Structure 1
Amino acid sequence: MSSLSEGDEEKEIDILTCPICLNTLNKPRQLECLHNFCHKCLQEYISSSGENGEHGKGKFICPVCKIPCRVPFPEKPRNKWATQFPTDSLVTSLADSASLKTDSQTCAPCKREGKHSEAKFWCRDCFEAMCDSCKLIHKKIRQIKSHKILRLEEVRSSPQILKMVEGNVDCTQHTKRQIELFCRQHRKLCCVVCFATDHRECPDVKTIDELVKDEKSEGELTEIIEAMKEVMNRAEEQISHKTQTLTLMTFKHEELAEKIESITRKAIERLKSLRNEAIEKFEICHSKETKRIEYQRDILQSSKLAMKMDLKYLEAVTKYGSPKQVFITSEKIRHQVGFHREILTVDQENHEDVDYKFEFNEIVEDLSHKLSALGKLKVLRNSLDEMVHDNDRETGMKSVTFSIAPNQAPTRLSVKTYSTATPSSRPHTLENCEASRIRMRKEKDYDGSMGSDRKISWFTGGTFCLDNGQFIMADYNNHKLKRFKRDVYSPIMEYPVESAPFDIALVQDDEILVSFPHECRINRYKLRDDDILKQTDTITTLSPPEGVAFVDQNIVASFSNCIKIMDEYGKEVVNIPTKESSAYTIPIVASKTGNTFVHRDGNVIVIRSLDGDEIFRFRHRQLKDPSGISMDFKDNIYVCDCNSSNIYQISADGQRGRIIRSSRLCVGRPVGIGFDGTGKRLWLTSNIQRSGQLLTMYTLSC
């Protein structure tokens, strides 16, 4: 299927052409934004847009202007949505009248009955062609016998007489009702039902027939046309600026890429691997930045194109439509103008000029054996309001720094150049799983709800604590920590907190760490003998922490794009880049021995020493969304996969792996797991479609 792209915008816009198939409109349907499409094209577009997009149920975006369009009756079958949108009588009639240029014309009334008759006459009121028989019938019906009927030859010789005498517009809210009134207070076009239900008390409601006679209407039409031209001009200027920015970025990209190549050639044997990684990361960054600006430019192109099409449409309505139609159309377009003005304003306020700067590591230039990274790539942004014309100046520039270093290598923040700690031994990867002889025996499901809960309980993390089998869970939805006891299958205590808790780590039997991603902090709590949870410390992080663990007096926390090892006071010691994730959770867990920890890196499970060195990694073809990780008393690793519903066990040395709970046996999708001190008893959370979440206790047996 073709579509009207940004490259086509400079062509003459024909309001009788479908923007999707680029052919003459066939059975046109009009959206709220006044853009017309073939019935078939519109239905195919709606069907391909998915059941529930980001704009909500019962909505889809217009292919031309990108404005969300609401379906009048979304409960009806999706493959019938296009039929709910009205036809535009003006566009339909203009499409029909376009065929008047040919020598033969089909009778419109006969065509509706599936017949084919040659037309010889034209009705100015109905705006359609008809044959001899239909003309006679036309004259016999009292309600339409006064219609002005002309011979087609006369119409072809004088096209100006095609202008429609009258044109009624249907109300989009109430079927079989026509727009007749206008509320000045709300600037709302109304039918009589709209007036009776929503605007009866409004002080200034008039009929459209009254308003079109008002001299102010003509002035308002001129105002709207000027506003549309202003939007188009602003869009053109901002599009030009985006194009210039992309040109500069491409030039600097090529320049820096060449410089990177020239530097690496001086020590090709030593720098070859680092050079390839630097170029790769540079290309990824460049692609990301150009796609972002190209997307912004596409939005501006859409606004310009939409205004251009709307302007053509308004000109056609002005030329061929009735004053009533002109007024209605201009009022509808007024809303579109405001929407596109807002797009331009937001884009202008947020616009940034983008430049590149690559700072080479001094060690690279000296060809030192201490070389650990090729350099740092900076994306320099400069907003329109603070443009820096001197190329040597960097004042006012905002920079985003990307460390270009070997994959998975931890970065020690104490070193300014982000040097890399290299593992003492080459890590290995485990990819196979054996059949399991371990069995998980279910004890019972827990009811995690409390009487004071306002939402369904949703546990995102937890830990066993004390010596009597008690455990604490983080209820993300209800902003609570809930305490459970063995053989009591509901919370025995709740501790309300001020924000949504995410994960819990055990410091010692009566002390825990809790991560709060919305507050960008990690709190430390102590369980007192009187069952009161007392906050003893707070660590503030620069970005939202998710998973948290406590290892040998160090705090290990997971973030969307890295793992950070901090001392007990929150000072960063090691930063380990990971694949950026928008997953449900980014789990992390510490070993019982206190010398290793496990985390997620994309769809791979990585085991590291406390220094950040990678020991080994685990991957499996079915492992797509590892959402929960735990370790038993022998430091065997257990991984919940929310996608496949499997639970994997990995030996502590990374030599063996197996599935201990198959998706065929799962009630729901496992998302969290935690062991007690014996390593034989564990809690498991599972997502149940339409029913929320299950919290279940299991016992392992061989």
Structure 2
Amino acid sequence: MASKFESSIQRGCDFIHDFACSACEEDGLNTEAQHFCNLCTKYYCDNCVAKHNGLYKRHTVLDRKDVKKWAAAPGIVDVLERCERHPGEALKLVCGDHDQLCCHVCVAVDHRLCSSIQHIPDVARDIRKDPGFRQLPQQVAVLRKQIEDMKNDRKKNSSSLRKTRTAIVDEIKAIRKMINGMLDKMEKTTVQELDRLVADQEMSIKKDMESCTQMHDELKNIIDDIQSKDSSGEPPLYIGFKKCEEKIKQAKEILQNMSSVVKYDLTFRKHNGIEDNLSSMKTFGELNESNVLCKQPCTSLFPRDHVFATEGYKEYNVKMSSDKDTWDIYEICSIEGMCELPGGEIVITDFINSKVKLLDQEYRVVDHCDVPKYPYDVCHIGGNEVAVCVNNNDDRHELHCINITKGKLVTTRKLSFSHECYGAAHHGNNLYISSFTALYVYTMTGKQVKKLYEDKTGYDTVVRIAISNDGKTIYITNYSYNQLITLDNLGNKLATFTDPDWSGPWGVHATTAGHVFVCCFDSDTVLQVGKDGKTKLATLARKQDGVYRPKALFFSSRSSSLVVGGLKGTLLVINVQ
């Protein structure tokens, strides 16, 4: 569905109409309009215009031969292009200072002092080529699916809550049966209290479901609006893009707030000594309501300064029958890089076997593809697409872009570089590539933007990289000098950190919430570092816990765990809290 929708935005297709029937749209239908009423300022298909004409015999209705007059009808501002603060005005400008769409009234009232006011047609140029715009349909589809799933979960929760109520009432009646009619009043009081709590919980569930429905419909409406404007030029598409980005942000915030509560529940505990103390009690027992919090919260639910603690370790085998038995002194796998996809699947690179492996949520290998010698780091670049560093230190310095479609790994394109390609990260519209001694910034098409940082005093001074969610902070592991280097996005060094508890820092990962983790190859340790890159907050795992020559790690928001890989045929999953 996402790919069909994406192609419709990029190229247009026959189900996107220049004018859609207004009446059909109100019924959730997508019908091409053949008529326009000047007085109603609405569009009608052949079926709906007959009903309209029967009600409004004196209205002037234009057909397709006068279609040029439709758009010129006075007082019409398209919904997508309409200013929400000033509905009678069209969005024509964008304020760069506030990253806000504006009409002329907005500029006059709120942005008179702003220095970066641009005409939308200017900034909307080539919007179809913008990676963010191209990924918009898939983002909305994924988000709508999450909202729909959340709504279904709440619906199931409501049913479960009612069953729980029934079970508690049965227990109340069983106790009631053991005693006599004096307990009628106690039973009534207890059930009333139970029903009140259930009603409160159900009200919370209802509010969640209503929020899901509203946001689901709003996302659908705005993406449908974007579809219907594909042939209207780039400004409407740009406006739709910006509005949809804001709506996506709102939806994610709603989902994040809801995700903290997995299930609403109630419990009941009978009073001890009820028979002896019956006369002094008002209810059969104590009712407690609870909101069962997610056992596997994502990092965004933790404060940014949260220091993690370990809850346990578990290893998962990622070997394949076709893997080599041995390779020099190493085991039959060497996991150089890994990342998590939006659906919870994991992509890892196996250096020794020259493979990229796809794992499901249970860490089982479900597919793989062969790449030239040798694959190093891998990073997520949007949707279900990853980029893999392929480097043989001689004449091959490439980045292979691989798409995951229906559980299969498919290489879509390759970028070549004049320098070694060892570590990779993605932020915004840029790729960050490390070459052992330097960090480069490239566009998504492989055009070099600049060399951001360089240190030629050692061979492994720029090994792996991680970027904060806002793109303002960059973390680099310096293996040669046992350091973590922290830069700003201009390449200025903010901090240099080392610690007696580590040797050979290699992999580094920054979560969306700002937590930073480092794994050290020589000391077999996994640590949490402060977001400023200046302090060690915790040592989370050592060799005795299963860490062996680690080279890559990431925090899984799905399982609330750190996943670590290295010169071993297994992944070490560290559960944290």
Please indicate, yes or no, whether the TM-score normalized by the shorter chain is above 0.5.
no
Task: State TM-score, norm by structure 2.
Answer: 0.42
Between Structure 1 and Structure 2, whose CA radius of gyration is higher?
1
**Higher normalized contact order (CA 8 Å, seq sep 6+, divided by chain length):** 2
Task: State TM-score, norm by structure 1.
Answer: 0.35
